């Protein structure tokens, strides 16, 4: 068994991240329009989304503690299986109750999936080289995510344009294909993600599960000791609420401008592809923004910029104006994510990384559920544009919450919360291993 190098860890991380988001790229352009096709109002769609947020809120920390205690690989495998069931149910769900069940399962999946892969990447990178700059990999991950979403969105638009196939409507076809891609993602997790836990077997599993509550309590304690970390996680309250504008309301806004849902669904495929390529470009620009402005000031400015782009989506006339604002929004979104997560990772060390990443997600998902209900209700009663303007304000007012991180960086780099001190020797990280290859492989594989 050979230890993975920094390059090998990053290579596997980018492959798994791409396969994780490719099915999402198929779903994003059509899922709201599909639920409308099946008879749901925007308010009902918001309630269905709320089921996702509720389950994330209930399960985020328990699943994160489980991942930190049991291992990232088994939790990611379970997550992939749950998502496979969820997408398959979405293909046939034709009632409000079934669609609520779909989003409840999506919440279970998000809770399981949130954190383990990124934490595996960071910890495995540091295990291979304690001085490695994992921010580069996080930035490349943002680029890979954007490209995967772009490819999925382009395929989604092509499938909708192709029209109905057998019993499946045009808007259902991307969901059908996403089922097959999720199977591929599950197999990739089984094949590529390797970690060595200190112990194994059924007794070790029971001990790890029993350890999970303590891991959760320790992670919660980090928030009490770190004002910076608390402020960073608070950003997610506003971000999660406001993201409903461009994730859920934009398709409705475009259908409103065009006057045709199927035409909007077909157009959103290539438009979302361009947007996610722009997202990838924004993620690639993260190191430049960090060098020029600093991570915290850049993140704050991007929160304001994203609010401005949503105002453009709400007010600009015609599909071209709406879509241009949409693409620019995703440039900002792509640059924001690596900056924010890099700031979060810099505030934590030790065995609680997955739990802290999941705390970040735990705040965002229920906020998104609240945004879905509130903004959906506003859209039904006052119009989609008014709802988008309200979401734009919420996005922008999160900017001051980056001030504590900025002040901390000016005062010097404090020891991350949870980091071992001189009085306590750190435990050695788990060794990440891979089987010896049976024969040399080509070094020309693309990242």
Q: How far apart are CA 218 and CA 212, in angstroms?
A: 10
Per-residue exposure over 100-112, b if at least 16 CB sit within 10 Å of its own CB, e if not: bbbbbbbbbbbbb
Residue-level pLDDT, tens digit, the chain, 447 residues: 457 888 899 999 999 999 999 999 899 888 888 998 998 888 888 888 888 878 877 887 777 767 767 788 889 999 999 999 999 999 999 889 999 999 999 989 988 987 789 888 988 888 888 877 777 787 788 788 888 988 898 898 889 888 888 889 999 999 999 999 999 999 999 999 987 765 554 555 566 566 656 666 666 666 677 788 889 888 988 998 999 999 889 988 998 888 887 788 778 878 888 887 888 888 888 888 888 888 899 999 999 999 999 999 999 878 899 999 999 999 999 888 888 888 887 777 655 666 677 677 777 777 888 898 899 899 989 999 999 999 999 999 999 999 998 988 777 554 455 544 333 333 333 333 333 323 322 333 333
Cβ atoms of 159 and 29 closer than 8 Å = no
Cβ atoms of 114 and 60 closer than 8 Å = yes
SS3 3: strand
Nearest to 88 by CA among 201, 172, 7: 172
C-alpha dihedral over 145, 277, 344, 299, to 10 degrees? -170
Q: How far apart are CA 194 and CA 73, in angstroms?
A: 7
CA 188-17-254 angle, 5° bins: 120
Q: Give long-range contacts, CB 8 A cutoff, 24+ apart: 85-92.
A: 87/23, 87/27, 87/175, 87/178, 87/179, 87/182, 88/179, 90/27, 90/31, 90/175, 91/168, 91/172, 91/175, 91/176, 91/179
**Which tokens in the block code for residue 303?**
């929160």
Q: How far apart are CA 80 and CA 67, in angstroms?
A: 14
């Amino acid at each position: 068994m050979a230890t993975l190098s920094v390059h090998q860890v990053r290579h596997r991380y980018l492959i798994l991240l791409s396969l994780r988001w490719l099915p999402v790229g198929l779903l994003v352009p059509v899922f709201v329009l599909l639920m409308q096709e099946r008879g749901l109002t925007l308010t009902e769609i918001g309630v269905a989304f709320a089921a996702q947020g509720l389950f994330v809120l209930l399960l985020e920390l328990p699943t994160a503690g489980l991942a930190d205690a049991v291992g990232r690989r088994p939790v990611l495998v379970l997550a992939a299986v749950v998502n496979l069931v969820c997408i398959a149910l979405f293909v046939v769900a034709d009632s409000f109750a079934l669609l609520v069940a779909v989003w409840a399962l999506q919440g279970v999946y998000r809770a399981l999936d949130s954190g383990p892969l990124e934490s595996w990447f960071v910890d495995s990178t540091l295990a291979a080289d304690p001085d490695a700059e994992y921010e580069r990999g996080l930035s490349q991950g943002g680029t890979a995510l954007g490209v995967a979403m772009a490819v999925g969105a382009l395929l989604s638009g092509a499938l909708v344009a192709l029209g109905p196939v057998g019993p499946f409507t045009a808007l259902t076809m991307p969901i059908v294909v996403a089922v097959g891609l999720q199977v591929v993602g599950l197999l990739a997790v089984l094949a590529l993600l390797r970690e060595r836990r200190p112990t194994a077997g059924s007794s070790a599993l029971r001990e790890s599960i029993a350890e999970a509550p303590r891991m959760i309590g320790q992670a919660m304690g980090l928030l009490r000791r770190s004002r910076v970390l608390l402020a960073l996680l608070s950003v997610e309250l506003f971000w999660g609420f406001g993201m409903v504008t461009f994730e859920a309301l934009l398709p409705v806004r475009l259908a409103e401008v065009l006057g045709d849902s199927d035409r909007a669904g077909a157009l959103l495929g290539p438009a979302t592809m361009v947007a996610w390529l722009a997202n990838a470009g924004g993620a690639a620009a993260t190191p430049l923004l960090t060098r020029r402005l600093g991570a915290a000031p850049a993140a704050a400015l991007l929160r304001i910029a994203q609010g401005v782009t949503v105002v453009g989506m709400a007010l600009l006339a015609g599909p071209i104006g709406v879509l241009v604002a949409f693409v620019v929004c995703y440039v900002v979104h792509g640059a924001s994510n690596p900056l924010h997560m890099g700031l979060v990772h810099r505030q934590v060390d030790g065995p609680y990384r997955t739990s802290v990443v999941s705390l970040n997600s735990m705040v965002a998902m229920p906020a998104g559920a609240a945004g879905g209900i509130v903004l959906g209700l506003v859209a039904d009663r006052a119009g989609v544009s008014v709802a988008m303007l309200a979401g734009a304000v919420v996005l922008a007012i999160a900017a001051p919450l980056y001030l504590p991180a900025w002040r901390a960086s000016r005062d010097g780099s404090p020891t991350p919360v949870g980091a071992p001190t001189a009085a306590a020797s750190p435990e050695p990280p788990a060794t990440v291993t891979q089987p010896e290859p049976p024969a040399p492989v080509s070094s020309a594989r693309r990242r």
